[in-house]
Chains A and B, each alone.
Chain A
Amino acid sequence: MDSTRLEPAGPESTGLESTGLVVKGLRKSYGGRTVVDGVSFALPRGGSLGIVGESGCGKTTTARMLVGLERPDGGTVHLDGADRSARPRARAERLARARGIQLVFQDPYLSLDPRIPVGACVEEVLRLHFALDPAARRHRVADLLDQVGLGEREAAALPRALSGGQRQRVAIARALAAEPKVLILDEAVAALDVSIQAQILDLLGAIRRESGVAFLFVSHDLAVVRHLTDEVAVLRGGRVVETGPTVRVLGEPQHPYTRLLLDSVPRRGWDPGRIAEGRRALARAESP
């Protein structure tokens, strides 16, 4: 592939791919261990991209770099043409970046402040990003909570009074409050019971249809990814090993690791012995 065209540093690139999220050659090491090794992908406006892989593949580190929780060692991140790679210079720029991409974490028990009623937690985001008068702000909080299926009673509650599913709804409402262009969902349904997980997946589908926000869906669960994304990138050892339309990648996987992941999904008539074999074959093929 023509790598000089893929990773240009000049301003001419911003004109070519000015819409959506464009990530090129993202790299991060911790103490000599490279956890993200040249990850590139593009997420068009209103699109839905799945980042799948197992623990240690670099998917969470990638997500954290996109929102600015980690600083990349190399590579670029552009959102609608604006460069997010360099350190933000002032508060206004930090706020603008935070508005662009919001993150929903896996564990709704850890991601909310236990001392703040959830309505106030959503209101805080509005106060940071929008110049609304108190009445308009309260109205907007009620709208946002209503959008995720929560009412006044829940708004006044502390996080501990809510169930796991309700807390994750709050986390989604808080993320949407900033009116982001991209919503990153990092294993956002993994900790939920299956009947609740389906409710949240349904809610996310409706939000995407109505608001046009783009999803970056970070997950180890291929079945969930199949139902929620248009495109998928498979990560292994910090690199993208396969990418393409979700239907194609899951229907006709090209890379042996993607095939192994697919075979590993438990189902009736499943043969775990064959998966163990596939895994050893892959390890043999990868060893020099």
Chain B
Amino acid sequence: MAPPLLEIDRLTVRLPAGRAARPILDGVSLSVAPGETVGLVGESGSGKSVACRSILGLLPQGARTEGEVRVRGADVLTRDRAALRRLRSRQVAMVFQDPRAAVNPLHRIGDFLTEGLRAAGTPAERATARATELLEAVGIQDPRAALRRHPHEFSGGMLQRVVIAAALAGEPELLIADEPTTALDVTTQAEVIAVLTRLQAERGTGLLFVTHDLELAAAVCDRIHVMYAGRIVETRATDDLFAHPRHPYTAGLLACTPRIDPHAPPPRPVPGRPLSLAEAPPGCAFAPRCAFAEPRCSAEPPELRPHGDGLAACLRADEGILP
């Protein structure tokens, strides 16, 4: 059997001593198959951005790692610079949250779109033709004229389409989207997501979709990983996750998200606050906020184990504590 497109295998990332009391990623495992859309959901500081950047070999300065990040079976973390450059230009592309921070404001959109292709040896004329095609695919009108424009001449939503076009230029097998629509208006968000999911389906690209918005993840993803304090606490197919969450944190996130449907109950807050990097409790990181915590929860860290058709890291996941 061919190795899966992406496998993160028990990845632990530690910052240099004194900067954090606990690992910023702690034994994270996930995989993405070709054509699959996988969600990584968590609040700020949960480690979701660190996890997705590690796939490109981008790690915080001085970080120490354990475990592996494999793309098509080959570990990313041990690659040299040349191999990393090949990975980033050919296999894996990333779309960041703020399109204005992702493009050089002094350069024309055409240069931004072709520089990767040119660096990979594509002749100038072919690169320009390809850039025009890509802009057309993401729904930019008059792509030839757009190539000569500068970033400030585009709205946020249009610029994010350009960034998506650039990410797709190298025909990557895997696309990582880190909060790609958080900076956009709701109607623009819908259009950008439509472009992203259509192209992904057409090309069979694997998509790792990182967001803090559980409803957005539900709208886009086949499977969702929920992160809390550097660990994956639950993994499940989207419908199952929404219907039968097994981890109290997932249930808490679902209950505290305001919903638009007319019969949805008011959002119910999760008490307390997320764990800071200075705190390293011996047991479950969510125990201090959990309504179902028992003394053993604060003493013993829960393993991520099969519960139902997914995985959950809760000592009480089998006791039917959640409805």
A interface residue numbers (CB < 8 A to B): 54-55, 163, 165, 193-199, 201-202, 205, 220-224, 226-227, 247, 250-251, 260-270, 272-273, 275-276, 279
Query: Across the interface, do B274 and A275 meet the contact criterion of CB distance under 8 Å?
Result: no
Q: Counting CB contacts under 8 A, is B216 at the interface?
A: yes
Query: Across the interface, do B213 and A272 meet the contact criterion of CB distance under 8 Å?
Result: no
- Docked Cα-Cα span, A104 to B124, in Å, equals 52
Query: Please, which residue of chain B has its CB at the minimum distance from the CB of A196?
Result: B273
- Docked Cα-Cα span, A194 to B250, in Å, equals 12
Q: Which of A55, A222, A265, A272 has the most CB of B within 10 A?
A: A272
- Do A227 and B242 form a contact, CB below 8 Å, given A54-B186, A266-B215? no
- Do A264 and B262 form a contact, CB below 8 Å, given A199-B269, A227-B267? no
Query: Please, which residue of chain B has its CB at the minimum distance from the CB of A164?
Result: B44
Q: Which of the residues A193, A199, A205 comes within 8 Å of B44, measured between beta carbons?
A: A193
In the complex, 21 of the A-B residue pairs with CB atoms within 8 angstroms, ordered by the A residue number, are A193-B44, A194-B253, A194-B256, A198-B270, A199-B269, A199-B270, A222-B186, A226-B258, A226-B260, A227-B266, A250-B262, A260-B187, A262-B260, A264-B190, A265-B215, A265-B260, A266-B213, A267-B219, A270-B190, A272-B194, A275-B187
Query: Please, which residue of chain B has its CB at the minimum distance from the CB of A205?
Result: B266
Q: Counting CB contacts under 8 A, is B268 at the interface?
A: yes
- Docked Cα-Cα span, A273 to B199, in Å, equals 12
Query: Across the interface, do B185 and A275 meet the contact criterion of CB distance under 8 Å?
Result: no
CB B286 to nearest CB in A, in angstroms, measures 11
Q: Which residues of B contact A165 (CB under 8 A)?
A: 273
Q: Which of A197, A263, A266, A279 has the most CB of B within 10 A?
A: A266
Q: Which residues of A contact B260 (CB under 8 A)?
A: 222-223, 226, 250, 262, 265, 267
Q: Which residues of B contact A55 (CB under 8 A)?
A: 185
Query: Across the interface, do A272 and B197 meet the contact criterion of CB distance under 8 Å?
Result: yes
Q: Which residues of B contact A276 (CB under 8 A)?
A: 190-191, 194
CB B123 to nearest CB in A, in angstroms, measures 34
Q: Which residues of B contact A267 (CB under 8 A)?
A: 215, 218-219, 259-261
- Docked Cα-Cα span, A55 to B189, in Å, equals 12
Query: Across the interface, do A273 and B198 meet the contact criterion of CB distance under 8 Å?
Result: yes
Q: Which residues of A contact B216 (CB under 8 A)?
A: 266
Query: Across the interface, do B213 and A198 meet the contact criterion of CB distance under 8 Å?
Result: no
CB A41 to nearest CB in B, in angstroms, measures 22
B232-288 at interface with A (beta carbon < 8 Å): 238-239, 242, 252-253, 256-262, 266-271, 273-274
- Docked Cα-Cα span, A221 to B267, in Å, equals 14
Query: Across the interface, do A198 and B258 meet the contact criterion of CB distance under 8 Å?
Result: yes
Query: Please, which residue of chain B has its CB at the minimum distance from the CB of A223?
Result: B258
- Do A270 and B219 form a contact, CB below 8 Å, given A165-B273, A193-B212, A275-B191? yes
Q: Which residues of B contact A270 (CB under 8 A)?
A: 190, 219
Q: Counting CB contacts under 8 A, is B312 at the interface?
A: no
Q: Which of the residues B187, B220, B257, B273 comes within 8 Å of A194, measured between beta carbons?
A: B257
Q: Which residues of B contact A199 (CB under 8 A)?
A: 269-271
B191-205 at interface with A (beta carbon < 8 Å): 191, 193-194, 197-198
- Docked Cα-Cα span, A253 to B269, in Å, equals 29
B19-56 at interface with A (beta carbon < 8 Å): 43-44
Q: Counting CB contacts under 8 A, is B162 at the interface?
A: no
CB A253 to nearest CB in B, in angstroms, measures 12
Query: Please, which residue of chain B has its CB at the minimum distance from the CB of A195?
Result: B270
Query: Across the interface, do A272 and B269 meet the contact criterion of CB distance under 8 Å?
Result: no
